[in-house]
Amino acid sequence: MNVPIFGESPTVKLVDPRLDPDEVERARRERAAELDGDIFRPVPVSQLCGEYPTLRQPVVEGILRRGETCNIIAAPKVGKSYLGCGLAYSVATGRPWLSYDTTRGRVLIIDNELHNETLASRLDAIAFAMQIPHADRDMVEVVSLRGRNMPVNAIGIRLQVEPSRYSLVIIDALYRTLPEGTSENDNAAMMRIYNEIDAFAARWNAAIAVVHHSSKGAQGEKTVTDVGAGAGSISRAADTHIAIRPHEENGLCVLEAVTRSWKSPEPVSIKYEYPIWTAVTTNPLVKQPTRRRADEQSKQDQADREYLLSLIPNRGLVQNTIITNSGFGSNKCLRLLGQLKKAGNVDLKHKRKRGGKQKFKIWTRTIPETHTESLPNQN
């Protein structure tokens, strides 16, 4: 009897178990070549350490290395693009960026937000304020994609980059690289986007910094990785996640970073005075919500919980579907579901498709749908 092997494909190949081992191995190699061209084999730890005795070259000390990806997250219009341009010139000249040392190297800015005239004016103003000599300014190169409707996969195909030419590539901004119909709240879709960005980093042998906006509302009580609009995979996929949040002192912000290949650095207080950001010695205290803001947030959370519960039928719903249908980011949605579960309004079950290995998280109601509007306040 024939049996299927190696997963599904438009044309399923069959292998007769009576075939000799060489024939089975040949079929396996053919299928692996169709999938990706690579065959993976485990290696001993000593071999791995021998082949990779050192970490990758730093681009920003304590923050980012060649081949790694980084998110730069801040509220809209706070000046995060100016922060990115300052980072570009700092790396291009090998001078410190805020309080972090850099390794001198060429930088590419992929900008899809500004008209060419605006971009030129901004880069000139920042270079003048940073006192960048004209001879060093061309260490920063630019690709302007405003109005070209260029999603991330098209950038990878159409942009010709010589490997190792750039130490750092800055993509400003993430939301304009999304393919048509893609939601930044979709975990699977955003993971595919970051897989593309990882491929850029590997192919170009450059660090990739992605400029992205934070979610709406107060950010002070969130963890660093929760600061950022959209799916949780955005923060998880990147090697470094940088968040810029308001400081307790007016006019200042706090830069915090969570890193994968470094010990995460201490927060830094920073200040924006057009057109550049600088580090200051003030104690880095992230602004916390006031009582009024906390009360407003409590009311909003209550309304969001009631809305979320209204999406769940008595028979239950798969967690990923709830996140997608809600329009909330995954972190917020899971937080609200946890609150509903703690209050006894919903229950979480794990189910496996018949004959399959994949488990699904199913949220079911524990109160009738008609009682959705009478949830107790949980704050």
Contact (Cβ atoms closer than 8 angstroms) between residue 141 and residue 168: no
Burial of 4: CB neighbours in 10 Å, binned 0-12, 13-18, 19+: exposed
Q: What does the pLDDT look like over 204-244, one tens digit per residue?
A: 999 999 999 998 777 777 888 889 888 999 999 999 999 99
User: Would you identify the CATH topology of the domain 58-280?
Assistant: Rossmann fold (3.40.50)
- Which residue's entry shows tokens 């600088």? 278
C-alpha span between 315 and 277 (Å, rounded): 53
- Domain borders along the chain are 3-35, 58-280, 291-374
Q: Is the predicted pLDDT of residue 2 greater than 50, yes or no?
A: no
Q: Is the predicted pLDDT of residue 7 greater than 80, yes or no?
A: no
Q: Tell me how many degrees the CA angle 135-136-139 measures, rounded to the nearest 5.
A: 125
Instruction: Specify the CATH number for 291-374; select among 1.10.10.10, 3.90.1150.10, 3.30.70.2190, 1.20.1260.10.
Output: 1.10.10.10
pTM: 0.71
Q: Long-range contacts made by residues 374-377, C-beta under 8 angstroms, separation at least 24? A: 375/302, 375/305, 375/306, 375/309, 375/343, 375/345, 376/343, 377/298, 377/302
Q: What does the pLDDT look like over 56-68, one tens digit per residue?
A: 999 999 999 999 9
Which stretch of 120-134, 248-262, 301-315 has the lowest confidence by average pLDDT?
301-315
Q: What does the pLDDT look like over 191-211, one tens digit per residue?
A: 999 999 999 999 999 999 999
